[in-house]
Amino acid sequence: MVFKIFKRTKDVKRDKKAKEILPYVRWKIKKECLEMILESSKSAYPKEFAGLLRAEGETITEVILLPGTVQGDAHAIFNFAMLPIDYTIVGTVHSHPSYSSKPSPADLHLFSKHGRIHIIVSRPYTMKSWRAYDWKGNHIEIEIIG
């Protein structure tokens, strides 16, 4: 993720064009990473679990815990001032203490501002109770790999 203090109009157009291509990326996630997300979500219940997704190419390999993240009963607030300069961070993951993995309006706002891929896990925190979304909030498929 590149941070710029000032954006020229040309840069904004180029960034939007790059994001338009991203839904066609065939994302994958390592099974052990997904299992860690599910277990962390389960142990954080009834609060939300939240983290950042790190990838090698198109494969999500690990979750980064951001210092200063606030985890509440119905929210998780990232302290993006603590975000390291790390170009391998591609998105976010968080849990819902309910049975719905549908993004809220606050989730959609987060998706549009930070990252290209986002995962929401919900109760009962199993391999079947999570969904992935692109930066616009569109559901996308992620392949689980060994």
In this predicted structure, what is the pLDDT of residue 20? Answer: 52
pLDDT in tens, 39-67: 999 999 999 999 999 999 999 999 998 87
Cα separation, 43 vs 13, whole angstroms: 42
Is 72 domain-assigned?
yes
What is the number of structural domains in the chain?
1
48 is catalytic: yes
**Which is catalytic among the residues 20, 32, 35, 48?**
48
What length is written for the chain? 146
Q: Which domain holds residue 138?
A: 26-145
Is 43 domain-assigned?
yes
Cβ neighbors of 39 (< 8 A, separation 6 or more) are 125
Is 64 domain-assigned?
yes
Is 51 domain-assigned?
yes
Cα separation, 63 vs 119, whole angstroms: 11
**Mean pLDDT, residues 114-143:** 96
Is 138 domain-assigned?
yes
CATH number, domain of 42, equals 3.40.140.10
Is 6 domain-assigned?
no
For the entire predicted model, the pTM comes to 0.80
Is 70 domain-assigned?
yes
